[in-house]
Structure 1
Amino acid sequence: MSDSRHYDEQEIAEILRLATEADEAGPPPAAGTGLTLAQIQEVGGEVGIPASRIERAARSLESVETSPPARFLGAPRSVARIAPLDRPLSDDEWMRLVVILRETFEAKGTVEELGPLRTWYNGNLHVHVEPWEDGHRVRMTTFKGNVTELAILSLVCLAMAVFTALAIYSKKGLDAGLFISGMFGAAGLGLIGSARLGLPAWADRRAAQMEEIAERIPLLLDAQDGDIGAT
């Protein structure tokens, strides 16, 4: 993280909010053209906010590039969020994070560990704690899997609509062919519509859940550091 970066007023307010989330109140954001991380830490230090807590809060605002979401008819069918860490999670922090994941996503999920790599997953929803560049990160990804099945079924129904219309028209006339093929066509369009219409709300809900988890991670680190400092 670069100490020379200047944070605007909105970012300063968000950093101080995250850094003081466990406290009753925090200092007001400073006005002006922006502050560096060191300056924000100086402001926070005047009211007793540890510099490490402010740094972690600022790190959570860092823009981390993720792959563009997969889309279906223009709507997102995948969601991803990356939360940078300045150190690996301890065993206790990892267990607490798993509890948060289970509460947030309302699923027990499955836990896997391979050396420094830790994973919690439930279906297409995956959360990885892993080394990354000069630190570590929590990488959350999910994918709406049933869209593919619904799209295939809808194509089958539409194909049946065309086939039925041609087959029945050649034997019983136009009216009967159009009625039966129309039923297949309506079923196909209904499947496509149901898959497409539900995606935005699903993506917004998952994105909000991941953002909430990313904001709670610095509190896990602060709690562990506080316990170490107390001893």
Structure 2
Amino acid sequence: MIGKLRGKVDAIGESEAVIDVNGVGYLVGMAGQTLARLQQGQEVEVHIETYVREDAFKLWGFLSERERAWFAQLQTVQGVGAKAALALLDALGVDELESAAALGDASAFGKAKGVGPKLAGRISSELKDKPPPTGRAFSPGFAVAASAGIASAPAEDAPAANNQAREDAVSALLNLGYAETDARRAAAAAARANPEAEASELIRLALKELAK
């Protein structure tokens, strides 16, 4: 199986790119926003989700491990295939997607092309009880190891600065006896409204959210 590719962008299509790794061209399916960040001849590091079927061998590529992990997690929901998962990542971005999952925000999932109200509701219902995906441990915090000239996820798609603070707040709420679903919902709401807040402040704000 292929987990990561590093090479040059050889060609860019409507829904896929060819990544040249030492003279071998790998055809990699990508979301529209990912393709828009690429330039022909550019050095890239691409995190890969490999699909093997009886009649197909498909590579899906992402510029961050966090995106790849969410692509995989979305497909644990019945009715969500690769196309729908890519559409959700395109429409929301990984940070908004993670917040929508924690909050159970069906309307956010409904923004994605091809995701109707019924499927959006199912995604919301199934993901709100699950922790965020852990992904592969290429490097701490899903960061993409990048050197000069190597394309990676842009700053707006990197993990939010308060992700650890939010997880610390969730842990504190669990220790106080709150259910994990309620703890994650409240911590996500507090973090969304206060992206720079530290854990202690998020705990206070989450408790206020739980008291509503």
Is TM (by shorter chain) over 0.5? no
Larger radius of gyration: 1
Bigger relative contact order (CA 8 A; separation at least 6): 1
TM-score by length of 2: 0.25
